[in-house]
Homo-oligomer: A and B are copies of this chain.
Amino acid sequence: MLYYNIIYRFPFPGFTPMQQAAQTMTFMGSGHDHSHCLNEALDRAAALCTKRGVRLTTLRRRVLELVWGGHRPLGAYDILDTLKAERRGAAPPTVYRALDFLLAHGLVHRIESQNPFVGCPDPDKPHGGQFLICRTCGMAAELNDSGVDQAIRKSAKKAGFSVGRPIIEIQGLCPHCQDNVEGEGE
């Protein structure tokens, strides 16, 4: 049963890579063709950059691919580790400049409360990220709930505040982890 459009996971300290993968599958649905959705995202990004007259360079495209490819939010230094193996002279600015570009064009979001970066499935209309973040398994899912957005705009309007980028990060328990906590066992 798929609860979310898009599922990301944080690395979770207590889990082996195998457990991580297993949980990722649980959330992604076992039939999920990730290489397909990755390619779609990259094509969408290329089209968007062309339309805006900006350059999706090899580096920027590669960083976007890594961010999208991981099934989970990725830290800047995780990205850097991979890049170092691929191009000589990769350093923090290499990654952060690419991320700045991708952020500026809405192609990725930063999870502000935890630092890593995730690909945005809907970069065409710029928006602040709305995320559900599970405190147990680290899963993060992007919402785009217009009800939340409207409530925020209404509240801001009352205060005379003009809304630019609303950041919503809802920490709590995903359905899967609620079950495990309730059951207490297994």
Contacts and interface: CB of A to CB of B under 8 A. Distances in A.
A84 interface: no
Q: Is the interface of A mostly helix, strand, loop or mixed?
A: mixed
B135 A145 contact: no
Interface string A158-174: 01111111111111111
A114 to B, nearest CB: 8
**Chain A interface size range:** 35 or more
Contact of A170 (B3, B150, B167): B167
A25 interface: no
B175 A156 contact: no
B168 A152 contact: yes
A81 interface: no
A159 B147 contact: no
Contacts of A3: 159-161
A120 interface: no
Interface string A1-19: 0011000000000000000
11 contacts: A3-B160, A145-B151, A148-B152, A151-B151, A159-B175, A161-B175, A162-B173, A164-B173, A166-B168, A167-B170, A168-B168
